[in-house]
Structure 1
Amino acid sequence: MEIILESTITCPHCGHQKEETMPTDACQYFYECENCHQLLKPKAGDCCVYCSYGSVKCPPVQNDPNKGCC
């Protein structure tokens, strides 16, 4: 299974979208929207901002959805 590293984050506050490259060696817990400058944090039960607000889940979750992340 090929791991996808590009994910589009959508800000829940203003709807701004930006394609980002996900790190493969760590979870990204914080993300600042470049449009409204809100600091995004993962939703309860998610390990990172990509799992909460991204179009693609983070690499560890893609690799093994049952294991979880980080």
Structure 2
Amino acid sequence: MTTDESRSPSILESVLTCPHCGFAKRETMPLDACLFFYECLSCKTLLRPNPGDCCVFCSFGSVKCPPIQQQHGCCG
């Protein structure tokens, strides 16, 4: 077993909550890309990551993105 295989698996679902209207939706996070933009299905606001965050899951999700969970740099 290699070091990568012995790490705990990442959580792949996160609940994104719109900071404008409070609408929340469970989404599956991509493993191979960052999600920089997300349109709220309720109020249609286009969400972008907060300064210092790599993606919308890190800013508005209940769970950070898989690379951050594994303590890797995101999208780098």
Relative to the length of structure 2, the TM-score reads: 0.87
Larger Rg: 2
Whether 1:46 and 2:53 are equivalent positions in the alignment is: yes
Q: Unpaired runs of 5+ in structure 1? A: none
Correspondence list, 1:54-65, <5 A: 54-64=61-71
1:28-49: per-residue Cα shift (whole Å, max 9, x none)? 0000000000000000000000
Runs of at least 4 residues off by over 2 Å: none
What letter matches 2:27 in structure 1? Answer: E
| CA–CA distance in structure 1, aligned partners of residues 43 and 12 of structure 2 | 25
Equivalent residue in structure 2 for 1:68, among 58, 69, 73: 73
1:9 aligned residue: 16
1:11-66: per-residue Cα shift (whole Å, max 9, x none)? 000000000000000000000000000000000000000000000000110111xx
2:4 aligned residue: none
Alpha-carbon RMSD across the aligned residues, in angstroms, is 0.7
What letter matches 1:46 in structure 2? Answer: D
Q: How many residues align?
A: 68
Relative to the length of structure 1, the TM-score reads: 0.94
Whether 1:35 and 2:45 are equivalent positions in the alignment is: no
What is the identity percentage for the equivalent residue pairs of Structure 1 and Structure 2?
65
